[in-house]
Amino acid sequence: MIEVCELNKQFGAIHAVKDVSFRVEKGDVLGFLGPNGAGKTTTMRMITGYLPPTSGRVSVMGHDVATESLAARSVIGYLPESAPTYGEMTVREFLRFIAEVRGFRGIEREKRVDQVMERCFLTHVQRQTIETLSKGYRQRVGLAQALLHEPRVLIMDEPTDGLDPNQKHIVRNMITDMGREKAIILSTHVLEEVEAICSRVIIIAGGRLVANSTPAELKQQSLYHNAVLLRLTEPRKDAAKQIKALDKVTQVEKIDSHALRIYPEKGEMILPAVLELARNQKWPIASIHAEEGRLDEVFRRLTATQAEEAAA
């Protein structure tokens, strides 16, 4: 539903986006990650037709965003960063205005506005001016304007930024529900959000794409993938030494007097071997489990070079 081919954007001397290519299918919720200044917003602006690329091409549901701009934009809903709206308008006035811009008139316009307000839990504030709303509500007005024409493709720039945990939960549930029917791209700095709602992840650093996979595959690249966390009810002096001697164990880290983290060679499953040793030695096990891996550590590793270059 979205095809991005060798996209580049240059702002004078700044090469903000470099040869970025990827596809998004129906049912995908794609998390777009990257450090500050990595090029996420710029890429999203090019996908939505808001900014022309220096080179490369974007097609949305078969429409080239540059040459068939209106057709492409009619199937896209876009929630830009900080959900810009017109503060002096009431919620209803603003959504009515957006409905007209989208070509709806009369009863159809009113029906769309009512439906989208209900969907975004805005009906009770419809007569309030937007500037008097809290940030969470303003963000939901932004989401409502992006959804009003029932787009097949939804692009959202940090949709839960600055929201409290309850509001975040509401917006994440809405995204998960919509994800079944649409192709969604959302940018975020919140890695737990990616794990909670995204089916795919793209990481961009210094304008370049450095990862394109599922959250589970990314976690498999973590140094912690299949690391074993062993906690004993009483310490055993030579436990670390004996574990270190096991096949496919690279390192044993002492967390505290009772707990060890055991790192495997290349993500190998070492849990059964550690468990067998612990049982044979009659160590008093309080808990033992293998870790899945950590997205934050993979993210830091994949983006570290670019971050260092930027700092220099």
User: Could you give the C-alpha distances from 212 to 18, 25, 196, 299, in angstroms and in order?
Assistant: 15, 14, 17, 12
Shortest approach of ligand ATP to residue 207 CB, angstroms? 7
2, 24, 38, 153: which one binds ligand ATP (CB under 6 A): 38
The answer to whether residue 312 forms part of the interface with ligand ATP (CB under 6 A) is no
- Containing H/E element for 287? strand 285-290
The region of 29-37, 106-114, 130-138, 268-276 touching ligand ATP under the rule CB under 6 A is 29-37
The answer to whether residue 39 forms part of the interface with ligand ATP (CB under 6 A) is yes
Long-range contacts (CB closer than 8 Å, 24 or more residues apart) made by 63-68: none
The answer to whether residue 42 forms part of the interface with ligand ATP (CB under 6 A) is yes
The region of 11-19, 71-79, 131-139, 174-182 touching ligand ATP under the rule CB under 6 A is 11-19
31, 34, 49, 267: which one binds ligand ATP (CB under 6 A): 34
The answer to whether residue 85 forms part of the interface with ligand ATP (CB under 6 A) is no
- Containing H/E element for 105? none
The region of 33-41, 116-124, 131-139, 241-249 touching ligand ATP under the rule CB under 6 A is 33-41
The region of 40-48, 65-73, 128-136, 231-239 touching ligand ATP under the rule CB under 6 A is 40-48
Shortest approach of ligand ATP to residue 216 CB, angstroms? 24
Cα(242)–Cα(199) distance, integer angstroms: 40
The answer to whether residue 41 forms part of the interface with ligand ATP (CB under 6 A) is yes
- Select 36 or 166, whichever has its Cβ closest to ligand ATP: 36
Residues 110-139 binding ligand ATP (CB under 6 A) are none
Shortest approach of ligand ATP to residue 18 CB, angstroms? 11
Shortest approach of ligand ATP to residue 210 CB, angstroms? 13
The answer to whether residue 11 forms part of the interface with ligand ATP (CB under 6 A) is yes
* DSSP per-residue letters across 1-50: -EEEEEEEEEETTEEEEEEEEEEE-TT-EEEEE-STTSSHHHHHHHHTTS
1, 2, 7, 16: which one binds ligand ATP (CB under 6 A): 16
Q: Is residue 201 a contact partner of residue 215, using CB atoms and an 8 Å limit?
A: yes
The region of 38-46, 169-177, 258-266, 275-283 touching ligand ATP under the rule CB under 6 A is 38-46
| Structure-token match 């450090």, residue found | 35
Shortest approach of ligand ATP to residue 11 CB, angstroms? 3
Q: Is residue 188 a contact partner of residue 216, using CB atoms and an 8 Å limit?
A: no
Q: What is the DSSP letter of 63?
A: E
Q: Is residue 248 a contact partner of residue 268, using CB atoms and an 8 Å limit?
A: yes
Cα(286)–Cα(305) distance, integer angstroms: 40
Cα(183)–Cα(193) distance, integer angstroms: 17
The region of 35-43, 107-115, 146-154, 175-183 touching ligand ATP under the rule CB under 6 A is 35-43
Among 197, 150, 157, which Cα is nearest to 28's? 197
Cα(7)–Cα(43) distance, integer angstroms: 8
14, 255, 269, 286: which one binds ligand ATP (CB under 6 A): 14
User: What's phi and psi for 304, nearest 5 deg?
Assistant: -60, -45
The answer to whether residue 269 forms part of the interface with ligand ATP (CB under 6 A) is no
The residues that touch ligand ATP, with contacts defined as CB under 6 A, are: 11, 14, 16, 34, 36-42
